[in-house]
Amino acid sequence: MEAALEKSAMRKIYLRLLPFAVLSYILAYIDRINVSFAGLTMRGDLKLSATDFGFALGTFFLGYFIFEVPSNVIMEKVGARIWIARIMITWGIFAGAMAFVFDTTSFSIVRFLLGVAEAGFFPGMLLYFTYWFPRRHHARIVSGFLVGLPVAVALGAPISTGLLGLDGLFGLKGWQIMYIAEAIPTIVVGLLTLLVLTDRPEQAKFLTAEEKRWITAKIASERPPAKEAAKFGSWKVLVLSLMYLIITVASLGLLYYTPQIRAWLDAYFGGVPPVVVVLLPYIFGTIGLLVWGRIADHNLWKAMINAKVLLLAVNYFGIVTASLGMLYFIPQIIKSLGDFSNMEVGWLTMIPYICGGIGMLVWGRVSDAMHERRWNLLVACVLSTGGLVLAGYMMGTWWALVGMSLAAVGCRRCSSAARRSRAQGSPGSTRSAISVALSAPITSAT
């Protein structure tokens, strides 16, 4: 009886939520990575150096990182339907605003605001799934949701490069048309969110009363103690986030003005090696962080200096940096293989991500069947390493694309496993969140 009830309720929930979640994630990723395709022509048009371009890309993650946790806290308060709609509509607006950037500063600011707007979408969706899916469905729903990523890259590549080819239409550059055309569907889907999503199972009109009772009772019986999550819901955390924003702005200001400070020091002390001047504030900062962390008697600090949390952060940092590095540079690496048009680069970019998507699904099923995570993750990391080394060694030949495809399979599997363990709340929601948060700024800086 219960099995039949579960089957019918879960079927309806999957059909209702999964296609929408995948579509939203595809749009999120297309809007996030289209900058790598735009870079093929935008850099020249705006006269951006590789460093300026890289810095502006990184500001997205800064905004995302700062507002990720507060966004989830607000979603818990106001409900998923309104909040996810808000996220999609505002990120759509900023994704479209990318068409109007004119220099490094405006590019960086809009990328930062895009990160702020999109912050909380991915963890918000994972949180939302926990309202609807019993624990034994988590792996399946997260894997299904993550399929959106390789699909986004596979679809995004030819669409973006195709739109780049419309250069001159309405007097706009190709990259401006691309940003605007790819932002509009996000805003439309954001508005549709208000009709499609329901906050909680007990409010769902598409479930019978019996199904609602079953799913509500099942989720309630599996809910872990809310003691740790409550820490993130308090006003103190919001104040801390605000303080962190101010500190980060000051820190970035220091970074911006380092060249001037260096020139000033040079005038006074003469002959000071530049590397010493640039690194000195950060050496003091790091020592201060470690010492302060040791003496501070606060759970958050304790979690931050916990060896396991730091190791998880290192692991996630390695996976995410390799994965994002590939994502941003694949079009330019492919371009180095020969004299391809932007459209051809787009089609070729699909290959590693089609391999990655298929690999992620097949490997996910194998891992589920084996009830094993750690060694599967290790093999995926090693495959990713091997693929990247092959691609680097065979640079300029088609073997590089084979290497990138192998690395994409490894990276996609790694990301899926790491995010799945995050969705399951392992090894504890606060620590897990901190480990990911710790890795985020380093990843974007790299």
- Element (H or E) spanning 200, and its range? none
Query: Which amino acid, 29?
Result: Y
Minimum Å gap between C-beta 270 and other proteins is: 27
Comparing CB distances to other proteins, the nearer of 21 and 407 is 407
Neighbours of 164 (CB within 10 A): 25
Neighbours of 309 (CB within 10 A): 22
Residue 234 or residue 426: which is nearer to other proteins going by CB?
426
Site for other proteins in 384-403 (CB under 8 A): 384-385, 388-389, 391-393, 395
Residues 189-214 as b or e (16 or more Cβ within 10 Å = b): bbeebeebbbbbbeebeebeeebbeb
- What are the tokens at 115? 């990160």
User: Does the footprint of other proteins cover residue 415 (CB under 8 A)?
Assistant: no
The contact pattern for other proteins, residues 53-72, with x = CB under 8 A and - = no contact, is -x------------------
CA dist list (Å): 100 to 7, 49, 115, 162, 178: 49, 18, 17, 20, 12
By C-beta, is 46 or 333 nearer to other proteins?
333
Please report how close the Cβ of residue 396 comes to other proteins at its closest, in angstroms: 9
Interhelix angle 80-97/50-78, rounded to 10 degrees, is: 160
Are 387 and 409 spatial neighbours (Cβ–Cβ below 8 Å)? yes
With binding defined as CB under 8 A, does residue 329 bind other proteins? yes
First and final C-alpha spacing in the chain: 54
Least gap, CB of 339 to other proteins (angstroms): 17
Among 268, 223, 219, which residue's Cα sits nearest to residue 6? 219
Pick one of 153, 322, 345, 433: the residue that binds other proteins (CB under 8 A): 322
Per the CB < 8 A criterion, the answer to whether 405 and 355 are in contact is yes
Name the segment binding other proteins (CB under 8 A); options: 11-19, 23-31, 113-121, 310-318. Answer: 310-318
Cβ proximity to other proteins, 302 vs 308, nearer residue: 308
Closest CA to 380 of 284, 372, 254: 372
Contact yes or no for 134/222 (Cβ under 8 A): yes
371 belongs to the binding site for other proteins (CB under 8 A): yes
* Residue 138 in contact with other proteins, rule: CB under 8 A: yes
* 378 part of the interface to other proteins, by CB under 8 A: yes
Of 135, 200, 231, 262, the one binding other proteins by CB under 8 A:
135
Closer residue to other proteins, CB minimum distance, 91 or 316:
316
Least Å from the CB of residue 337 to other proteins:
11
Q: Are 157 and 37 in contact (CB under 8 A)?
A: yes
Closest distance between other proteins and the C-beta of residue 289, in Å? Answer: 21
Interface with other proteins includes 18 (CB under 8 A)? no
Binding piece for other proteins, criterion CB under 8 A, among 33-41, 283-291, 355-363, 377-385: 377-385
CA distance 52 to 371: 45
Q: Does 43 bind other proteins (CB under 8 A)?
A: no
Q: Is 319 in the site for other proteins (CB under 8 A)?
A: yes
Please spell the DSSP secondary structure of 131-155, one letter per residue.
Answer: HHS-GGGHHHHHHHHHTHHHHHHHH
Residues in the site for other proteins, rule: CB under 8 A?
50-51, 54, 135-136, 138-139, 222, 308, 311-312, 314-319, 321-322, 325-326, 329, 332-333, 336, 371-374, 377-378, 381-382, 384-385, 388-389, 391-393, 395, 407, 410-411, 414, 417, 421, 424-427, 446
